[in-house]
Amino acid sequence: MFKRIVHERAEHAPFTAAGAATGIIIMVIIIFGNVPSQISNAAFYTLHPIHVLLSALVTTAMYRKYGSRKIWAAVLIGYAGSIGIATISDAIIPYLGGALLNIEMEFHIPFIETGKMPFLGIEKWMLINSAAVIGIATGYLKPTTKIPHLGHVLLSTWASLFYLTAFGTANWIPLLPLVFIFLFLAVWLPCCLSDIAFPLLFVGKEPANKNHQPGCHFET
């Protein structure tokens, strides 16, 4: 298992670096376009629930394919692996990165927030937790894990980026190299943990199919 995780992290690093580079491009556009933080806020609360849904789907499907068929276990693993890891990736790591850079940052835990979603008017906790439930149900009933890795990387990267620009206030231009590092880590560290290591911890053995392509682009 350890060797597989190391291999996956090495394999995913180029995709994650490319995703972080697109994040820097978007940040430059936001800075020079003087885009208001409300736009970043709306973008974050759009991308984060989608990230939760995909993570719940893949995590649950991995456990469903290679582990037990117990519904209660699949629900717990899918929920923890999506809500928990997506919150770390999209909110906690960006917040800690901003704090380390001495940026004035607001701290948000989206899945327990009672404020209204931009445009929709639905409470944030309700939408985000519903996204996890939909992902879990889909992953359990149709355990396919074929999700394009680059798409997952971009989704998570952009969510982390928009957290920074929505809830942080700084002169970003001199900080762009460090922002790149934090965007990279925010995706690269949690990705394999969520989609591979976390669900397989409860399986107790390596998947029988050695030819599948793990990560965010599994075979069905």
What is the pLDDT, as a whole number, of residue 137?
94
User: Among 181, 166, 217, which Cα is nearest to 19's?
Assistant: 181
Higher pLDDT pick, 39 / 215: 39
- The answer to the question of residue 151 being in a domain is yes
What is the pLDDT, as a whole number, of residue 192?
56
Q: How many domains, in total, are found in the chain?
A: 1
- The answer to the question of residue 206 being in a domain is no
Residue 62 structural domain: 2-201
pLDDT higher than threshold 70 for residue 100: yes
8 Å CB contact between 37 and 75: no
Q: Which two tokens stand for residue 118?
A: 């931009």
Which of 15-19, 61-65, 109-113, 195-199 is predicted with the least confidence, judged by mean pLDDT? 195-199
Query: Tens of pLDDT along 139-170?
Result: 888 876 555 556 777 888 999 999 999 999 88
Point out which residues pair with 104 in neighbouring strands.
169
Q: What is the mean pLDDT of residues 75-98?
A: 90
- The answer to the question of residue 218 being in a domain is no
Q: Model's pTM, two decimal places?
A: 0.83
C-alpha dihedral sign at 150, 153, 159, 160 = negative
